[in-house]
DNA sequence: TCTGGGGTCCTAGGACCC
DNA sequence: TCTGGGGTCCTAGGACCC
C-alpha cells in the first residue's frame, strides 16, 4: 500500500439525464437525451442512447429521425433542476470528506487522507451509496495519486462492467495496464489538436504518452501538455483553484429561436443579456471595467452573407449597475449593426472584474450611489419573488427572438408550483406545472 | 427550418521602460 | 562602418474543458 495522498474523482453518471429520470423513474432503462439551449445539440445521453450511436454534441435536427425511430425521450435543458441537484450532491460529498474541490456541475475531486488507504474500494462504494440514498443520482468514483489518473480511473469505473462504478488505481502495473488501453484523446487536457500532433509522432495510447520525451512535449504541447505527462507518471502538478469563486470574466449570450434582422429586436435581446450579466456580477460582488459586445450571423448558413464583429468598450469606471452597463452596450450595438443580415446571436462579455470592496474611485466620474441602492432593491425583490419579477422594459415583453425550449421539464425542486404530486392529477397546469406562462 | 453557452490557461508579440 | 540588453505589462488568439 502506498503512503501517497490520493485523489478521488466523483462524477455523476449522465448527469442531466439522471436528473430528468429522478422524477420520471419510468425512463430508467430507456434511451433519453437532453438538448442544449435553443434545442440545438445533444449534450447528455443515457447509456441506451449512446448504444444507439447518438453522438455527443450532434445537432438535434440531424438525429431526429433516429430519435423518432427508437422512441428516444427528449428534454430541453433545465438548469434550474440540474443546478439544484448538483448542489445537493456536492453537499453530501462535503459532509463525508473534508477536502472537496467542485470542478464542474457534475464533478468533484476529493482528497483522501492516508488513513483511508485501508480498503479504499469499500470506502468509495460507501460514498457512492450515500449519494444515491440522499439525492438519488448515480455517481462513479475513480481514485489515483494524481487528478489526471483519477479522471482516467473514473472513465474505467463507468465503462468497464465489473467495476460497478468504482476504480481504484493503486499498483503501477494496474496504472500501466489501464493507460495502455486509453486513447490519448480520452485523457484530460489532450484535445483534438494535440491528438493530431501526437499521432504524427506515433503516439496513440496513454502509456506511450507517459513515456514520451519531455523536451518534445514541452515544445509541442506547451507547459500544459508537460503537466499532463507528469501526472500520468504519478507526479501531481495540476491544482484546482476553487478558492477563486469569483469569475474573471462573465459572458451572457444566446442563439435566437429564429433569424433576427431588426435592430429593435437585437436591442431587446442584448438588454436582456446585459441585465443578466449585471446580476451575475453583483451576485459575486464584482465590478466590471470593460464591456465587449458581439454580434454574428449563422456560420452554418454558407448560402447567406456572413457578418461577425465585436467591439470593446472601456467603462468610465468599474460598475455593476445595470443602466450604466446597458447604455454603452446599446451604443456599441448600434455601431456594430448593419442592415441586410440575418443575425443568429448577440452577446455581451464583461472583463476587468474587480471586487466591489476594492473599487478605485474616479476623480472625475460622478459616483452613482443611488444606482447601487436601486440595484440592491431590485436583486432582493427578484430573489424573493422569482427572476424577472422586476425587469428593465428595454428587455422586451414578447421576446419573439427567444430560443426554443420545446421539451422542458418542470423545475421540480425549485418552484412550489412544480412540485411533483402523489395520488392526484395536477390540476389547471399544462403538464409543466407552471404558475406563470413561459413567456412574459 | 433546425448546429450551445460559459469558462480557464498559455504563448507570442508589441509597446514601453530604463 | 558602427546602432544594447533586459525587463514588465497588455492583448489577441489558440487550445482545452464541461
A347 domain-assigned: yes
A419 domain-assigned: no
Q: Is residue A179 domain-shared with residue A151, that is, in the same domain?
A: no
Query: In this structure, is the CB of residue A38 within 7 Å of any atom belonging to strand B?
Result: yes
A427 domain-assigned: no
Spacing of A398 CA from B16 C1' in Å: 51
The count of structural domains within chain A is 3
Q: Is residue A317 domain-shared with residue A294, that is, in the same domain?
A: yes
Nucleotides of C under 7 A from a protein CB: 12, 14-18
CATH number for position A190: 1.10.150.20
Percent of residues, chain A, with pLDDT higher than 70: 91
Question: What nucleotide is nearest A219 when CA is compared to C1'?
Answer: B11
CATH number for position A82: 3.30.70.270
Please answer whether residues A146 and A175 qualify as being in contact, where contact means their C-beta atoms are separated by less than 8 angstroms: no
Q: Is residue A308 domain-shared with residue A386, that is, in the same domain?
A: yes
Q: Stretch A18-24: mean pLDDT, rounded?
A: 97
A407 domain-assigned: no
CATH number for position A264: 3.30.1490.100
Q: Cβ contacts of residue A36 below 8 Å, gap of 6+?
A: A42, A43, A77
A425 domain-assigned: no
Contacts 24+ apart (CB under 8 A), A309-313: A309/A336, A310/A336, A311/A335, A311/A336
The candidate with the shortest Cα–Cα distance to A353, out of A295, A294, A277, A241, is A277
Distance of alpha carbon A261 from alpha carbon A340, whole angstroms: 7
Q: Is residue A146 domain-shared with residue A32, that is, in the same domain?
A: yes
Query: In this structure, is the CB of residue A192 within 7 Å of any atom belonging to strand C?
Result: yes
Query: In this structure, is the CB of residue A345 within 7 Å of any atom belonging to strand B?
Result: yes
A431 domain-assigned: no
Question: What nucleotide is nearest A40 when CA is compared to C1'?
Answer: B3
Q: Is residue A124 domain-shared with residue A9, that is, in the same domain?
A: yes
Q: What is the pLDDT of residues A309-333, one digit of tens each?
A: 898 888 888 899 999 999 999 999 9
Mean pLDDT of all residues belonging to chain A = 90
- Give the per-residue pLDDT at A117: 63
Instruction: Tell me which of A373 and A10 has the higher pLDDT.
Output: A10
Band (A437; pLDDT cuts 50, 70, 90): very low
A436 domain-assigned: no
Q: Is residue A99 domain-shared with residue A63, that is, in the same domain?
A: yes
Q: Is residue A92 domain-shared with residue A219, that is, in the same domain?
A: no
Nucleotides of B under 7 A from a protein CB: 1-11
- Give the per-residue pLDDT at A368: 57
Q: Is residue A35 domain-shared with residue A143, that is, in the same domain?
A: yes
Band (A116; pLDDT cuts 50, 70, 90): low
Q: Among A195, A212, A245, where does a domain finish? A: A245
- Nearest protein residue to the C1' atom of B8, measured from CA: A248
Q: Stretch A66-75: mean pLDDT, rounded?
A: 96
Q: Is residue A301 domain-shared with residue A391, that is, in the same domain?
A: yes
Q: Is residue A380 domain-shared with residue A260, that is, in the same domain?
A: yes
Q: Is residue A80 domain-shared with residue A197, that is, in the same domain?
A: no
Question: What nucleotide is nearest A104 when CA is compared to C1'?
Answer: C18
Query: In this structure, is the CB of residue A251 within 7 Å of any atom belonging to strand C?
Result: no
Q: Are strands A32-35 and A73-75 parallel, antiparallel or unpaired?
A: parallel
Q: Among A107, A142, A169, where does a domain finish? A: A169
Query: In this structure, is the CB of residue A106 within 7 Å of any atom belonging to strand C?
Result: yes
A132 domain-assigned: yes
Question: What nucleotide is nearest A254 when CA is compared to C1'?
Answer: B5
- Give the per-residue pLDDT at A244: 62
Which domain range does residue A109 map to? 1-169
- Residue keyed to cell 424577472: A388
- Give the per-residue pLDDT at A417: 85
Spacing of A274 CA from C17 C1' in Å: 25
Please determine, for residue A61, whether its predicted confidence score (pLDDT) is greater than 50: yes
Distance of alpha carbon A177 from alpha carbon A179, whole angstroms: 6
Query: In this structure, is the CB of residue A105 within 7 Å of any atom belonging to strand C?
Result: yes
Q: Among A152, A169, A186, where does a domain finish? A: A169
Q: Is residue A354 domain-shared with residue A289, that is, in the same domain?
A: yes
Amino acid at each position: 500500500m502506498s503512503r501517497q495522498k490520493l485523489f478521488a474523482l466523483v462524477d455523476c453518471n449522465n448527469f442531466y439525464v439522471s436528473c430528468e429520470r429522478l422524477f420520471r423513474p419510468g425512463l430508467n432503462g430507456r434511451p433519453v437525451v437532453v438538448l442544449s439551449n435553443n434545442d440545438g445539440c445533444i449534450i447528455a445521453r443515457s447509456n441506451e442512447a449512446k448504444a444507439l450511436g447518438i453522438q455527443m454534441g450532434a445537432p438535434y435536427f440531424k438525429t431526429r429521425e433516429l430519435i423518432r425511430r427508437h422512441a428516444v425521450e427528449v428534454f430541453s435543458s433545465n438548469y434550474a433542476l440540474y443546478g439544484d441537484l448538483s448542489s445537493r450532491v456536492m453537499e453530501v460529498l462535503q459532509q463525508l470528506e473534508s477536502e472537496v474541490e467542485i470542478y464542474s456541475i457534475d464533478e468533484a475531486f476529493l482528497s483522501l487522507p492516508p488513513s483511508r488507504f485501508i480498503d479504499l474500494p469499500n470506502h468509495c462504494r460507501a460514498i457512492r451509496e450515500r449519494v444515491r440514498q440522499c439525492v438519488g443520482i448515480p455517481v462513479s468514483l475513480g481514485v489515483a495519486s494524481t487528478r489526471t489518473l483519477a479522471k482516467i480511473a473514473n472513465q474505467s469505473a463507468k465503462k468497464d462492467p465489473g467495476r460497478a462504478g468504482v476504480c481504484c488505481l493503486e499498483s503501477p502495473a494496474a496504472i500501466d495496464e489501464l493507460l495502455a488501453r486509453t486513447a490519448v484523446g480520452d485523457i484530460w487536457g489532450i484535445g483534438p489538436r494535440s491528438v493530431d500532433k501526437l499521432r504524427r509522432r506515433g503516439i496513440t495510447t496513454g502509456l506511450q504518452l507517459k513515456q514520451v520525451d519531455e523536451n518534445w512535449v514541452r515544445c509541442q504541447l506547451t507547459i500544459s501538455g508537460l503537466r499532463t505527462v507528469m501526472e500520468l507518471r504519478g507526479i501531481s502538478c495540476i491544482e484546482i483553484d476553487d478558492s477563486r469563486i469569483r469569475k474573471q470574466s462573465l459572458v451572457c449570450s444566446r442563439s435566437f429561436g429564429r433569424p433576427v434582422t431588426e435592430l429593435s429586436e437585437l436591442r431587446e435581446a442584448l438588454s436582456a443579456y446585459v441585465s443578466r450579466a449585471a446580476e451575475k456580477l453583483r451576485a459575486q460582488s464584482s465590478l466590471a471595467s470593460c464591456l465587449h459586445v458581439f454580434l454574428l450571423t449563422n456560420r452554418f448558413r454558407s448560402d447567406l452573407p456572413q457578418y461577425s464583429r465585436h467591439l470593446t468598450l472601456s467603462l468610465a469606471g468599474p460598475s455593476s449597475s445595470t443602466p450604466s452597463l446597458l447604455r454603452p452596450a446599446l451604443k456599441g450595438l448600434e455601431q456594430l449593426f448593419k442592415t441586410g443580415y440575418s443575425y443568429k446571436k448577440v452577446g455581451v462579455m464583461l472583463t476587468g472584474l474587480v471586487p466591489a470592496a476594492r473599487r478605485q474611485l474616479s476623480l472625475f466620474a460622478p459616483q452613482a450611489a443611488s444606482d447601487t441602492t436601486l440595484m440592491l432593491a431590485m436583486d432582493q425583490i427578484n430573489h424573493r419573488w422569482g427572476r424577472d419579477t422586476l425587469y428593465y422594459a428595454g428587455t422586451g415583453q414578447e421576446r419573439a427572438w427567444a430560443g426554443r425550449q420545446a421539451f422542458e421539464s418542470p423545475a421540480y425542486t425549485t418552484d412550489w408550483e412544480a412540485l411533483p404530486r402523489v395520488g392526484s392529477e395536477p390540476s389547471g397546469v399544462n403538464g409543466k406545472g407552471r404558475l406563470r406562462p413561459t413567456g412574459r
